[in-house]
């Protein structure tokens, strides 16, 4: 009879994978909330955020953006927020939110914008478009369209959104929308169903996205039909990093480098669509915001429930680390309704996000979500690399940073029914090393071992470096 002892080490944990069968590997991370991969191979509890500036109103923050180089001065940058029926600005991101001159917009509207020759122009799609050169007072832009989506391309401003018409300004002039004389502003129809649903500039092309998922490339002379209906369902999910675009729709998270949209999120497909219909809610499909900061893309999805573990993640933010090509889930105490990554007056890249109550928050190195504890959790599934054979589980060993407040639970089972597991508490991991001997004969046998690691303190960080297991296979003759 062969050696029946199993000794395995697991010191490199990837991201969440809900797409593949949990038995395709061993030590699979089947559920994770509020953890990030740092250092590589390990998992660390994410940092928190703090309130950013005050609340000029209590309405949901629909849009956040920055205007740099105001008045051709490279030291001047204003931040902007659209909430309620107002557009506010903050001088250098440090001054209080102040109502912009001519800053009344449609209540609940998103305010899109673009910049050409240090002139910022934008609109919400239902009120007069407007522009600013000083960063604080906006002027109605004569003849400019009512539009929500704006982009600078080939020294023109393009506007899209209220119909199928894509309009552009006179060359080198964001404020000139005349079509006669020396002015060469014009417009054309983007064919196909739906109306304007976003503009993307990538690979020296302007891509007009429609609400039906249609995408059409424009090179300044002709339209190229991309023959796809997998464009962004939410224009607010579009975010750029070094000439590469991310966006989302009801089918998942996509990357776009100018050729065809590429589905990136197959490993978390069940968070978008699953058998129990507990993934992405239909009400979120057209409005979910996204943003890029450092090496991560964030997508605010609302509440999702995985149909394998049946665990619900409220205020779920899907985080894609595009350097590691890895997905994890965050759950903020305050649901993000808009994102902005910008460079502050000290030259440091910052991420802020808006919330439903009118507060903007800044992601930082704090250990709480603006005073609310951060509850993190990981669940691992082990089969000893021989799934069908029952084991007598002997030891579990875990490695943590000393002083952390992580707690551990284990459960043995012969079936993959997460809801019926009988958990055993192992205590905390303050010493940095946990060694548990399965000495209870009523709860040390099963084909599978589930390990749950969780923590919800306000004052410490957890780093989980890895784990080891040992087991004895039942005799097989």
**Tokens coding 206:** 């302007």
Write the DSSP string, 11-31.
--------SS-TTSSSSEEEE
Alpha carbons 31 and 16: distance in angstroms, whole number: 7
Cα 369 to the center of its chain, rounded Å:
17
For the chain, domains (ranges, CATH) are 5-46+376-473 (2.60.120.260)
pLDDT of residue 361 exceeding 70: yes
The sign of the torsion formed by the CA atoms of 253, 269, 465, 35 equals: positive
The two tokens of residue 120 are 């910022």
Collect all residues with Cβ–Cβ distance below 8 Å to 466 and sequence separation of at least 6. Answer: 9, 10, 11, 12, 13, 41, 42, 398, 399
Residue with tokens 């999120």: 265
Give the tens place of pLDDT for each residue, 85-111.
999 999 999 999 999 999 999 999 999
pLDDT of residue 460: 83
Condensed to tens digits (0 to 9), the pLDDT of residues 206-243 reads 999 999 999 999 999 999 999 999 999 999 999 999 89
d(CA 137, CA 146): 19
The residue count of the chain comes to 477
- Cα–Cα distances in Å, from 254 out to 244, 286, 356, 474? 11, 15, 26, 46
> Of all residues in the chain, what percent carry a pLDDT higher than 90?
84
What band does 477 get if pLDDT is binned at 50, 70 and 90?
Answer: very low
Q: What is the CA radius of gyration of the chain?
A: 26
Vertex 272 angle, CA 268 and 274, to 5°: 90
Supply the pTM of this predicted model. Answer: 0.95
């Amino acid at each position: 009879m062969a050696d029946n002892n199993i000794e395995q080490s697991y010191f490199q944990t990837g991201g969440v994978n809900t797409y593949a069968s949990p038995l395709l590997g061993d030590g699979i991370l089947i559920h994770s909330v509020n953890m990030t991969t740092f250092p590589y191979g390990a998992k660390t509890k994410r940092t928190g955020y703090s309130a950013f500036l005050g609340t000029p109103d209590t309405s949901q923050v629909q849009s956040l953006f920055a205007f740099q180089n105001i008045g051709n001065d490279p030291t001047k940058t204003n931040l902007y927020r659209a909430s309620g029926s107002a557009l506010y600005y903050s001088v250098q991101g440090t001054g209080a939110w102040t109502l912009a001159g001519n800053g009344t917009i449609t209540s609940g509207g998103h305010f899109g914008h673009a910049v050409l020759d240090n002139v910022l122009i934008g609109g919400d799609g239902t009120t007069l478009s407007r522009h600013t050169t000083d960063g604080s007072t906006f002027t109605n832009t004569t003849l400019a369209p009512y539009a929500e989506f704006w982009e600078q391309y080939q020294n023109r401003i393009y506007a899209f959104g209220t119909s199928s018409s894509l309009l552009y300004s006179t060359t080198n002039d964001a404020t000139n929308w005349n079509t006669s004389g020396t002015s060469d502003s014009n417009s054309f129809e983007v064919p196909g169903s739906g109306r304007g649903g976003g503009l993307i500039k990538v690979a020296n092309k302007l891509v007009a996205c429609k609400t039906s998922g249609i995408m059409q490339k424009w090179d300044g002379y002709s339209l190229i039909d991309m023959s796809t209906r997998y464009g962004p369902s939410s224009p607010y999910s579009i975010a750029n990093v070094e000439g590469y675009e991310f966006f989302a729709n009801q089918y998942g998270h996509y990357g776009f480098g100018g050729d065809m949209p590429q589905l990136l999120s197959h490993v978390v497909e069940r968070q978008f669509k699953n058998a129990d219909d507990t993934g992405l809610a239909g009400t979120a499909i057209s409005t979910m915001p996204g943003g890029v900061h450092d090496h991560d893309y964030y997508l605010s999805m609302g509440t999702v429930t995985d149909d394998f573990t049946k665990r619900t993640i409220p205020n779920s933010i899907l985080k894609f680390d595009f350097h590691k090509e890895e997905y994890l889930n965050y759950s903020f105490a305050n649901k993000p309704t808009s994102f902005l990554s910008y460079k502050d007056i000290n030259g440091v890249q910052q991420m802020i996000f808006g919330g439903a109550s009118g507060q903007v928050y800044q992601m930082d190195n704090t250990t709480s979500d603006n005073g609310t504890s951060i509850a993190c959790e990981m669940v691992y599934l082990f089969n000893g690399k021989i799934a069908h054979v029952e084991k007598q589980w002997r030891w579990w060993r875990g490695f943590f940073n000393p002083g952390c407040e992580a707690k551990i639970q284990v459960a043995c089972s012969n079936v993959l029914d997460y809801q019926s597991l009988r958990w055993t508490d192992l205590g905390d991991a303050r010493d940095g090393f946990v060694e548990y001997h399965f000495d209870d004969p009523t709860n040390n046998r099963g084909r599978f071992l589930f390990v749950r690691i969780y923590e919800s303190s306000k004052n410490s960080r957890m780093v989980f470096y890895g784990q080891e297991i040992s087991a004895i296979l039942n005799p097989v003759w």
